[in-house]
Structures are given as C-alpha cells and as structure tokens.
Structure 1
Amino acid sequence: MFDVLVFVYENYWRGDACPEPERLERRLSAHGFEPDEIQQALAWLDGLNLAAQNTELSPEGRAAIGDAPPGRQSPASLRVYSVSEQDHLGAECLGFISFLESAGVLPAPLREIVLDRAMAAPGAPVSLEELKIIVLMVYWSCGEQPDALVLDELCDDRQGRLAH
C-alpha cells in the first residue's frame, strides 16, 4: 500500500490534482500495482480525504497557549495515547510525532489526522518510514506545504548516515 501512496504523492503534488478514484485506479493498474494493493490504498486515501475535509486549519487552530476557542484543543493541552495507539505506532513513531509537534510543524488537527491514518495502516507496529509517508500524505491532502527542513526530515534516509 505504501508504494502506491508514494506513487500518488510523487505524481500528484497537490491533493486537489489527484484524479477521481476510478481514473486513479486505472492509472495505478497500468503502472503495475497489484489490485489488492490499489484497493487498500484507495480506501486509505478515501479516509484521508474525509478526515482532511472535516478538519479546519484556521489561525485559531494554531493560536497561542490558552487562546483556543470553545470546542477546540488548546496548544497547551497534552495528548495521551491509548494502549492500542501505543501498540500500533510504537515508541519510535510516537517520538517522531512528538518531535514534529515540539518543532511547531505539526499542529493538533494535523496530528490527529496523522494518528487516524496511521491507525488505519496495515501492520503493527507502523515503521518510522511508513509514518513519514503518512505525514507527507496528510500535508498533501490538506494543501499544506511542509517547510524545507521538515520536508528534509521526512524524506531523509538515515540508513546511509555515519554517526560521529
């Protein structure tokens, strides 16, 4: 499924440029993806589109501490992960989400979409590389462009690094 998502991200830079599911399915099939993998990715993308449409990324959503309107999460609030989220995501992925939040590049509404889509991903625990693809797809679907440093972190291959 993640190979299909990467293909979609690379070929349709903006979420609104992505073709309708039937047309996308034909294109993916023409590129050699397996039907089961395509169906799983399309169902996942459908859930992503639904979550993105129901999420408001207004300036109030990124307000200063204590300034959240009623019914909206304050930036000072603490997200507690359920046992199933901890099991499905693992410590490495939860740590990466925390890193993105503390860097100020993953506001609470986007974090919740990332968590929702990560929980919908097959396999447990989700690998860090898979989570990075999910984060990119969430930015993509919301029409948000991560800044260059975040994009570098999301696309960085750490296996070739040499620690000093």
Structure 2
Amino acid sequence: MFEVLVYVYENYWQGDACPELHQLSRKLTAVGFEAEEIQAALVWLNGLNIAAQNTQIGLPDEAGVTGGPVVKSTIATTGFLPQSAASLRVYSVAEQEHLGAPALGFVSFLESSGVLPPHMREIVMDRAMAAPGDPLALDDLKIIVLMVYWSFGEEPDALVLDELCDDADFRIAH
C-alpha cells in the first residue's frame, strides 16, 4: 500500500491535481500495481480525503484563536474549540501498541518543532491507525505525514521534508 501512496505523492504533487479515485485506480493498474495494493491505498486515501475536508471545514479563523466572536460560531457549527497551548494529547493503549515508541516519538518531535499542528496531528494519528503493520514502521509513518501535508495542499518546510525523506540506514555516525 505504501508504494502506491508514494507513487501518488510523487506523481500528483498537489493533492487537488489527483484524479478521482476510480480514475486513479485505472491509472495505478496501468502502471503495474497489484489490485490488492491499489484497493488498500484507495480506501486509505478516501479516509484521508474525508478527514482533511472535515478538518478544513472545522478550522477556526485567526480571530477565533484570540477569543473573538468567531469562537462562538465555531463551537456552534463544528462542536470544538481550537487546542489550547496548555493542552496535552494522551495516546490510547491501542495507539501506543499500533504505532510503537519510535513512531510516537517522531510525531512528538514534529509537534514540538512546530511543524505538525494539532489538527494535522490528529489526521496523522487517524490514518496511522488505519494503516497496516503492528507496530507501524517509522518509514511508513513518514509517508503518512507527507500524505497529510499533501491532502492539505501544503508542502512541508525543506528541513522537515528532508527529515521525512531521509533514510536513516545510510547515515554515518560521526
């Protein structure tokens, strides 16, 4: 499945350039991916599209963060407030077991670095829980993070992109 996701990321750089899922399925078949991999990737991508659309609809305006009148309308229409700077994300036992310490540590690193905002972190967690693997490989989590950025039409910072695409097996310790 992750090979298909990497292909989609590389060939449809902006998420809005990606064809509809049924057309994408035909293109992936023509490229030579196996039907099971394509189906798993399309189900996963559909979940990503739904999560990204729902999150973009529910994101508060900047005025809402400061406590202006937008917060009240945000609560009324979406049912949630923006995350407070003092809030804490507690990972469930299922998330801890499925992701493992390296993946959770990487999510924490991205979040503490300020490059993975809370709304994107939650989509990463949702899509990571929907991915195969127990525990999820760190390289697979990095692909998930890239795909979440892709779904929002954002390109990660160059240093973050380097970290996401870096193969630690080829690093030389000094």
TM tier relative to shorter chain: over 0.9
Cα distance in 2 between the residues matched to 1:155 and 1:62: 35
Cα distance in 2 between the residues matched to 1:158 and 1:63: 38
Alignment correspondent of 1:105: 115
Aligned-pair CA distance for 1:60:
3.8
Alignment correspondent of 1:30: 30
TM-score, normalised with respect to structure 1: 0.92
Cα distance in 1 between the residues matched to 2:104 and 2:163: 15
Query: Which of these two proteins has the greater Rg computed from alpha carbons?
Result: 2
Change (3 A) 1:142 1:30: same
Alignment correspondent of 1:48: 48
The answer (yes or no) to whether the contact 1:62–1:107 under 8 Å persists in 2 is no
Which amino acid in the other structure matches residue 93 of structure 1?
A
Alignment correspondent of 1:120: 130
Q: What secondary structure does 1:54 align onto?
A: helix
The answer (yes or no) to whether the contact 1:118–1:126 under 8 Å persists in 2 is yes
Which amino acid in the other structure matches residue 143 of structure 2?
I
Change (3 A) 1:11 1:116: same
Change (3 A) 1:92 1:147: same
Alignment correspondent of 2:149: 139
Q: Please, which moves more after superposition, 52-61 or 30-39?
A: 52-61
% identical equivalent positions:
69
The answer (yes or no) to whether the contact 1:28–1:38 under 8 Å persists in 2 is yes
Aligned-pair CA distance for 1:58:
5.2
Alignment correspondent of 1:14: 14
Alignment correspondent of 2:167: 157
- 1:84-99 aligned at under 5 Å gives the runs 84-99=94-109
TM-score, normalised with respect to structure 2: 0.87
The answer (yes or no) to whether the contact 1:62–1:75 under 8 Å persists in 2 is no
Alignment correspondent of 1:3: 3
> Where do 5+ consecutive residues of structure 2 fail to align?
none
Q: What secondary structure does 1:55 align onto?
A: helix
Q: What secondary structure does 2:55 align onto?
A: coil
Cα distance in 2 between the residues matched to 1:61 and 1:21: 36
1:76 to 86, 89, 102: 86
Which amino acid in the other structure matches residue 8 of structure 1?
V
Change (3 A) 1:79 1:53: same
Aligned-pair CA distance for 1:101:
0.5
Which amino acid in the other structure matches residue 30 of structure 2?
A
